[in-house]
């Protein structure tokens, strides 16, 4: 065979074009079509590991790769002809080694036995962390858990209280607006380059990049939520932001419920805001987007006060109690955007203007990193509180995620997603504990009693 170039050495435009074409196909493809595409692309010289991972994540069955050693033989041919280089070889081999296992654990398990028409006794909240483009990790966690436990994408339907910060607000409001988990995946994938520009921290601080990205996110949110309001939603919604119009800044919470009345009763008109306004305020990360002006308030990213919105959940819970309208939490599900692996930070000091400018950029990045998910204290406190009150608590947040919140590179995002999938299959107990909670809350009590009395 004539030598060809490995896909990762193609031009950026060519790689982007291939991925965009694949995404367009995947949006309407059936599961069998995804599986066939995976089989076919495995042998195409210009196909990349990013394309393979995308197909697997959205449900392509890799079984055909293992029939008659098709996958291994074809990979050897591609290594010989240069369409897979030595640098990429480990990723292709890892895919071949783990794809079958990932698919089996995500898509081939027997769904838990629950009453699909039943709703839990009490309120079941879903808390979604902040983290920019790492929101794709949250989407993948929901996708994996829903398909593994229920055999479909219905998991979010069982949660009647959605609490989301920053990127988590975008995901929460999209789910509340009726998007499936897969549709949320495509929404994130499509919007990344429509919002974020390529550029350094220095350019964000001193150039016009922030102004441009602000216009971009305003447009994306208007397209996603043209008319939807919090009041018009049948689920409880809680979206935190930080009001910096005073010193010190104060927590501001967008919500569609009142502490003095039962859910569904009229609330203060001030709270009847558009979805896009709440999402814009909660996502206004400094150095990435301009603050959002809402009445007399100046609002920035909710991650500054509640990147893990569990603290907001319990603050709201306590306010219900304070107003003599206590609510019962049936359980809690917290979905993260991934916890970073511990790595050595590259940080140099200097006295020149250039060095000082770089230091400012480093400091800005450090602050944003701390804001969007380095301190797990809020999670630990929520877990302890739930344990003390006998409330089931579940959290899914893969470890080893070191990705910028404005990452737009397809390959790096798919590396992140692959790390998430590998983590999920290596820690299946975390997903299955969620299944146990749902089974307890949603199964037929008579059936549970019969099973418990059965002698094996």
Give me the active site residues, please. 166, 301
d(CA 373, CA 395): 14
What is the token pair recorded at 404?
A: 């910028």
Nearest to 335 by CA among 133, 176, 188, 140: 140
* CA distances (Å), origin 126, targets 168, 185, 297, 332: 10, 18, 27, 6
Type and span of the H or E element at 416: helix 410-426
* DSSP 3-state percent helix, strand, coil across the chain (nearest 5): 55, 10, 35
* CA distances (Å), origin 14, targets 187, 190, 277, 325: 22, 17, 36, 58
Whether residue 169 is preceded by a cis peptide bond, meaning omega within 30 degrees of 0, is no
d(CA 351, CA 357): 10
Rounded (10°) angle between helices 135-150 and 89-107:
50
Tokens 């299944």 — which residue? 435
What is the token pair recorded at 179?
A: 């998007």
What does residue 351 show for φ and ψ, rounded to 5 degrees? Answer: -105, -10
d(CA 213, CA 216): 5
**R_g over Cα of the chain:** 23
* CA distances (Å), origin 325, targets 129, 218, 319: 27, 37, 9
**Contact present, 188 and 413 (Cβ < 8 Å):** no
Alpha helix segments (H runs only) across 167-269? 167-176, 181-195, 201-206, 209-224
């Amino acid at each position: 065979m004539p030598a060809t170039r490995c896909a990762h050495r193609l031009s950026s435009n060519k790689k982007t074009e291939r991925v965009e074409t694949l995404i367009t196909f995947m949006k309407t493809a059936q599961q069998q079509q995804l599986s066939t595409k995976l089989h076919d692309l495995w042998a195409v010289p210009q196909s990349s590991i990013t394309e393979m991972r995308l197909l697997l994540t959205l449900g392509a069955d890799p079984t055909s790769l293992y029939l008659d050693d098709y996958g291994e033989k074809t990979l050897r041919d591609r290594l010989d002809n240069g369409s897979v280089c030595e640098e990429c070889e480990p990723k292709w081999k890892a895919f071949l080694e783990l794809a079958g296992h990932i698919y089996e654990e995500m898509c081939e398990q027997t769904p838990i036995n629950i009453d699909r028409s039943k709703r839990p006794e009490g309120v079941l909240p879903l808390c979604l962390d902040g983290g920019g483009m790492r929101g794709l990790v949250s989407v993948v966690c929901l996708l994996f858990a829903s398909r593994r436990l229920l055999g479909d994408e219905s998991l979010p339907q069982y949660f009647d209280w959605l609490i989301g910060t920053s990127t988590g607000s975008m995901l929460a409001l999209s789910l509340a607006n009726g998007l499936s988990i897969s549709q949320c995946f495509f929404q994130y994938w499509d919007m990344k380059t429509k919002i974020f520009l390529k550029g350094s921290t220095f350019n964000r601080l001193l150039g016009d990049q922030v102004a441009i990205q602000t216009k971009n996110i305003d447009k994306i949110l208007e397209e996603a939520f043209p008319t939807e309001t919090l009041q018009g939603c049948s689920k409880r919604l809680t979206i935190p932001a930080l009001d910096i119009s005073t010193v010190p800044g104060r927590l501001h919470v967008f919500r569609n419920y009142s502490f003095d009345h039962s859910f569904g009763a009229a609330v203060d008109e001030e709270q009847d805001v558009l979805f896009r306004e709440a999402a814009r305020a909660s996502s206004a990360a400094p150095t990435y987007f301009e603050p959002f002006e809402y009445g007399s308030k100046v609002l920035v990213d909710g991650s500054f006060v509640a990147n893990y919105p569990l603290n907001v959940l319990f603050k709201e819970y306590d306010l219900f109690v304070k107003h003599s309208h206590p609510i019962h939490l049936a359980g809690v599900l917290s979905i993260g955007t991934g916890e970073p692996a511990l790595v050595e930070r590259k940080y140099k000091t200097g006295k020149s203007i250039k060095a000082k400018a770089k230091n400012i950029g480093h400091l800005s990045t450090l602050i944003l990193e701390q804001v969007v998910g380095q301190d797990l204290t809020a999670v630990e406190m929520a877990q302890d509180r739930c344990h003390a009150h006998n409330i089931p608590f579940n959290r899914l947040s893969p470890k080893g995620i070191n990705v910028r919140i404005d990452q737009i590179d397809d390959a790096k995002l798919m590396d992140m997603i692959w790390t998430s999938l590998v983590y999920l299959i290596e820690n299946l107990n975390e997903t299955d504990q969620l299944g146990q909670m749902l089974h307890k809350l949603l199964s037929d009590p008579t059936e549970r009693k019969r099973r418990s009395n059965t002698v094996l």
